Amino acid sequence: MIGSDDVLACFIAGNVFTWDDWFRLETKDDSLQPTIDMLLNVGVFMWFGAVCPWHLFGENNVIPIYRLIPLGILVLLLRRLPMILVFHRFIHQVEDFRRALFLGYFGPIGVSAIFYLYISKEFLRDVTYQGGERLDAAHLSEMMDVVVWFLVLCSIVGHGLSIPLGKLGLYLPRTISTALSSDRLSFAQSTARDTSETDLDRDNARDIASVFRRRRPAESGDATPTTPGALSRAPTEPPTDTARNAVKPADSGGALDARSSLAASNSQKNSNARPVISAPTNPRAIGRAIHNVANSTHAQDSAERLHRSIRFGDEGGNAA
C-alpha cells in the first residue's frame, strides 16, 4: 500500500507488541505459535525445493559450476566468521572465542535472501532501454538468480548438516561443543557435578544458591530444634561461607566434612551467642551430625535429605 519495508515493520511491531512482556509470558508455554511456525517453514522450504532453478547451476552465462562451488564454500566460511571474531569482544553475550566461532559460522542464508532476490528482479525488470530490459540489468538478473539460489542451497545443506556431521564425530562442531563444555568441565570438577550437564549450570547453580538461601531458615528451623545434641557439632558458619557452600549444592565429599568440623570447632564458642535458627547452616553437615549423634531422628532426616537431593536433580533438569 505505502511501499515500505514490511519485514522490518513486522519485527518492530512484534517487539513493541510485547514491550511489557505480557503477551510473551501469556503465550510462552503454548504450542500454537511453534506449530504455525513449523508449518510455514516446512511449506516454504518445500516450495524452495520445487522452484529452485537447478538447471541454471550447470549451464548459464554467468559462472561455471567449478567456480560456483568454491564461491559457496568461501561465502559460508568468510561471510560472517571474521567479522564476529573481530567484534566479539564488544558483544557481551559472546563470552569467549569458541562461542564467537559458533555465532560466526551459523549465519544462515535463507528465506530473506530469496525475498531480496525477487525484490531486485522486480526492480530490474523496470530498468528498460529501447523497449526491452536493459542488457546489463538482464545480465545482473541472471547472475542474481544463479548466485543467490546457489548460496541459499549451500546454506541449507551446509548449516543443516554441520551439526549432525559434527555429532557423527567429524571435527568442526565437535570442537565447538567440546569447547563449549570445557569451561563447564573445570567448573564441574570443582563441584563434583555431572559433567554431562550443560554449562548453563553455572547460571542454574546461582539460581539454586538463591533458592537455597531462601529455603534455609525453614529447614534449619525444622532440623535443628529436634536435634539439640547436634547443635554443638553443627557448623554455624558465617553467612559468606554458607553462600559459597550453597553454590556447590552437590558437594558431599570429605572436604566439606573437614571444613564443617573445622567450622564447628571455630563456632563452638559463638554458637551460644548466635541464635541458631537465624544462623545459616549447611544442611548436609547437619544431616551428618545427626547421623553421628542423634540416631533416633536419623530416618526422618535422611528422608529429608533424599527429598532434597531429588529436588536438586529436578531443578537442574528443568532449567537445562
Partner 1 sequence: MPTLSVVNFNIVCATAGGFITLFGLVSYLFKEKFYLSEALISSIFGVVFGPHAANFIRPLDYANGSEIDLETITLYFTRLVLGVQLVLAGVQLPSKYLRKEWRSLAILLGPGMCIMWVVTSLIIWALVPNVPFLFALAVGSCVTPTDPILSNSIVKGKFADKNIPPSMQKIIIAESGANDGLGYPFLFLALYLIKFTGNHGLGVAEGGAGKAMGLWFGETWGYVIILSVIYGAVVGWIAKELLHWAEDRQYVDRESFLVFAITLAVSLSKPM
Considering only residues 115 to 154 of the shown chain, the ones binding partner 1 according to CB under 8 A are 115-125, 127-130, 134-137, 139-140, 143-144, 147-148, 151-153
Nearer to partner 1, 82 or 225 (CB): 82
Report if residue 303 touches partner 1, rule: CB under 8 A. Answer: no
Listed in order, strand segments (DSSP E) in the chain are 128-129, 132-133
Q: Which stretch binds partner 1 (CB under 8 A): 40-48, 210-218, 229-237, 266-274?
A: 40-48
Is residue 184 a contact partner of residue 205, using CB atoms and an 8 Å limit? no
Q: Which of 119, 122, 103 is nearest to 111 (CA)?
A: 119
CB of 255: closest distance to partner 1 in angstroms?
A: 29
How many angstroms separate the CA atoms of 159 and 164, rounded?
Answer: 10
Q: 3-state SS string over 265-305?
A: HHHCCHHHHCCCCCCCCCHHHHHHHHHHHCHHHHHHHHHHH
List the grid coordinates of 14. Answer: 512484534
Using CB under 8 A as the binding rule, the residues of this chain from 218 to 237 that contact partner 1 are none
Q: Which stretch binds partner 1 (CB under 8 A): 36-44, 211-219, 279-287, 293-301?
A: 36-44
Q: Which long-range contacts (CB under 8 A, 24 or more apart) does 11-18 make?
A: none
CB of 74: closest distance to partner 1 in angstroms?
A: 5
Q: How many residues bind partner 1 (CB under 8 A)?
A: 126
For the window 241-280, what string marks contact with partner 1 as x by the rule CB under 8 A? ----------------------------------------
CB of 139: closest distance to partner 1 in angstroms?
A: 8
235: burial class by Cβ within 10 Å (0-12, 13-18, 19+)?
Answer: buried
Using CB under 8 A as the binding rule, the residues of this chain from 181 to 220 that contact partner 1 are 198-200, 203
